[in-house]
């Protein structure tokens, strides 16, 4: 049965559940429209149904909206629950109804619940893309992008949320809610989680071989997302997936394996990326690429404090920073220093936020001092988002490493 909107869906499910009669339902619908409140709220306000009595229909509505069961299935389950006096969940068929299925009945993708739960795509769009992906032997995420159901940025956030749940950093329902908020705010899932106070920054030493290949321009963002999606589906390592996909030459992959092992102990991530880039472009051995790094790995890098970064990016003057920070102790946190600069009206919230994220990437060794200054200057001068500035400066900056603000 075709259902055109959420109110109509809920109305028909209430009728199937025999919670209210037609006259009571009509009165509640008119009340909901007049007061601009949800229908379930109107029903309880008019005292024609209790919250407890409405729960089966509400649960059925949520499952239909998420694409987990069809409207007809939901109606049958509600009727069965009503006839036998059992809970809606108990009346559900004993099978994997929580998984979206194709017309063939085959269970599909682990990102389906995230796409549907965050209301990014409709069940019809997801099924259409899944069928096309199966026919053309393409990743589901790529097919959704090709069909223009989602953007590549959105796909990245979906994969990020799915990975948070897979790694048990947050419960799955929380990851879905974070994804929904992130899409609405046009922020990253990690940023939303960080702003809630629940995210601990990942360190540069945890850089994966897949991230190193992207950092070194050896693969595209699309390649990166394809492998990330396959990692959710298959119990294989990044190395196994990259090898099987053949997206990079074997010599480059071998060099990447050796370089990623040197990160933290000898090389910064950006140094490993620069060496790998030279290996790919100039066809030189790894030892030569490392030897030609400027400055050499053994040379200590500049500290590039928060004030230094803001000065180098042309946002504040050296004199102004020194006046504000003259009484600070060595242990003064970055956030406190930033607040002092804000209070002195030398920078605004956006400047501070961008500088803290950029400096975090520098401290984790993901970007060089030159790249940090270039990205922050670009964001400030051109009044664009920091992520756009990274893209414009051809810098890959893992979002999971941008929150070292201590």
- Flag the least confident range among 219-233, 274-288, 295-309: 295-309
Alpha-carbon gap, residue 98 to 209, rounded angstroms: 34
Structure confidence by residue, pLDDT tens digits, 295-337: 899 888 778 889 999 999 999 999 998 888 777 777 677 778 8
- Residue 47's pLDDT is 83
* Residue 7 and residue 36 in contact, taking contact as beta carbons nearer than 8 Å: no
State the average pLDDT over residues 151-171.
96
Q: Say if residue 101's pLDDT is above 60.
A: no
* Residue 406 and residue 197 in contact, taking contact as beta carbons nearer than 8 Å: no
Instruction: Output phi, psi for 267, to 5 deg.
Output: -115, 145
User: Who wins on pLDDT, 55 or 217?
Assistant: 217
Alpha-carbon gap, residue 188 to 174, rounded angstroms: 15
Alpha-carbon gap, residue 386 to 354, rounded angstroms: 6
Q: Where are the domains of the chain?
A: 6-91, 112-195, 204-291, 306-401
SS (H, E, C) the chain: CCCCCHHHHHHHHHHHHCCCCHHHHHHHHHHHHHHCCCHHHHHHHCCCCCHHHHHHHHHHHHHHHCCCCCHHHHHHHHHHHHHHCCCHHHHCCCCCCCCCECCCCCECCCCHHHHHHCCCCCHHHHHHHHHHHHHHCCCHHHHHHHCCCCCHHHHHHHHHHHHHHHCCCCCHHHHHHHHHHHHHHCCCHHHHHHHCCCCCCCCHHHCCHHHHHHHCCCCCHHHHHHHHHHHHHCCCCHHHHHHHHCCCCHHHHHHHHHHHHHECCCECHHHHHHHHHHHHHHCCCHHHHHHCCCCCCCCCCCCCCHHHHHHHCCCCCHHHHHHHHCCCCCCCCHHHHHHHHHHCCCCCHHHHHHHHHHHHHHHCCCCCHHHHHHHHHHHHHCCCCHHHHHHHCCCCCCHHHCCCCC
- Residue 301's pLDDT is 79
Q: Say if residue 206's pLDDT is above 90.
A: yes
Percent of the chain with pLDDT over 90: 57
Beta-carbon count within 10 A of 80 CB: 15
Instruction: Output phi, psi for 305, to 5 deg.
Output: -65, 170
User: Who wins on pLDDT, 331 or 368?
Assistant: 368
- Flag the least confident range among 67-71, 212-216, 279-283, 385-389: 67-71
pTM (two decimals): 0.72
Alpha-carbon gap, residue 288 to 343, rounded angstroms: 49
pLDDT band at 100 (very low <50, low <70, confident <90, very high): very low
pLDDT band at 3 (very low <50, low <70, confident <90, very high): very low
Q: Say if residue 107's pLDDT is above 60.
A: no
Q: Say if residue 195's pLDDT is above 70.
A: yes
State the average pLDDT over residues 216-224.
96
Q: Say if residue 256's pLDDT is above 70.
A: yes
Q: Specify which of 62-76, 82-96, 246-260 reaches the highest per-range mean pLDDT.
A: 246-260
State the average pLDDT over residues 90-104.
51
pLDDT band at 104 (very low <50, low <70, confident <90, very high): very low
Alpha-carbon gap, residue 369 to 80, rounded angstroms: 66
| Mean pLDDT, all residues of the chain | 88
Long-range contacts of 248-251 (CB under 8 A, 24+ apart): 248/213, 248/218, 248/219, 251/279
Q: Say if residue 209's pLDDT is above 50.
A: yes
Joined together, the tokens standing for residue 251 give 């010599």
Q: Say if residue 106's pLDDT is above 80.
A: no
């Amino acid at each position: 049965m075709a259902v055109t909107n959420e109110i109509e869906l809920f109305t028909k499910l209430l009728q199937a559940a025999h919670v209210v009669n037609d006259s009571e339902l009509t009165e509640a619908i008119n009340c909901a429209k007049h007061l601009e409140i949800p229908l379930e709220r109107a029903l309880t306000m008019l005292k024609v149904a209790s919250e407890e009595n409405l729960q089966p229909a509400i649960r059925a509505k949520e499952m239909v909206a998420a694409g987990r069961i069809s409207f007809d299935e939901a109606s049958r389950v509600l009727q069965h629950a009503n006839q036998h006096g059992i809970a809606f969940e108990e009346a559900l068929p004993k099978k994997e109804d929580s998984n979206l299925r194709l017309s063939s009945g085959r269970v599909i993708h682990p990102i389906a619940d995230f796409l549907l739960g965050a209301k990014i795509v409709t069940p019809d769009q997801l099924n259409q893309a899944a069928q096309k992906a199966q026919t053309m032997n393409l990743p589901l995420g790529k097919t959704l992008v090709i069909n223009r159901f989602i953007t590549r940025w959105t796909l990245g956030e979906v994969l990020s949320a799915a990975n948070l749940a897979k790694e048990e950093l947050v419960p799955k329902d929380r990851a879905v809610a974070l994804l929904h908020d992130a899409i609405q705010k046009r922020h990253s899932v990690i940023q939303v989680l960080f702003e809630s106070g629940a995210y601990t920054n990942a360190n540069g030493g945890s850089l994966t071989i897949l991230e190193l290949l992207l950092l070194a321009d050896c693969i595209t963002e699309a390649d990166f997302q394809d492998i990330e999606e396959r990692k959710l589906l298959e119990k294989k390592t990044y190395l196994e997936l990259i090898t099987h996909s053949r997206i990079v030459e074997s010599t480059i992959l071998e060099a990447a394996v050796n370089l990623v092992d040197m990160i933290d102990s000898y090389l910064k991530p950006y140094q490993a990326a620069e060496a790998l880039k030279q290996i790919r472009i100039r066809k030189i051995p790894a030892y030569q690429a490392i030897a030609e790094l400027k400055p050499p790995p053994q040379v200590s890098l500049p500290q590039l404090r928060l004030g230094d970064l803001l000065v180098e990016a042309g946002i504040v003057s050296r004199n102004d920073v020194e006046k504000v920070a003259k009484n600070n102790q060595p242990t003064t946190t970055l956030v406190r220093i930033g607040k002092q600069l804000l209070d002195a009206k030398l920078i605004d919230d956006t400047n501070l936020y961008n500088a803290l994220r950029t400096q975090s990437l520098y401290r984790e060794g993901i970007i060089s001092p030159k790249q940090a200054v270039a990205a922050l200057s670009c964001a400030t001068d051109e009044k664009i988002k920091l992520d756009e500035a990274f893209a414009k400066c051809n810098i890959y900056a893992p979002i999971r490493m941008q929150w070292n603000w201590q």
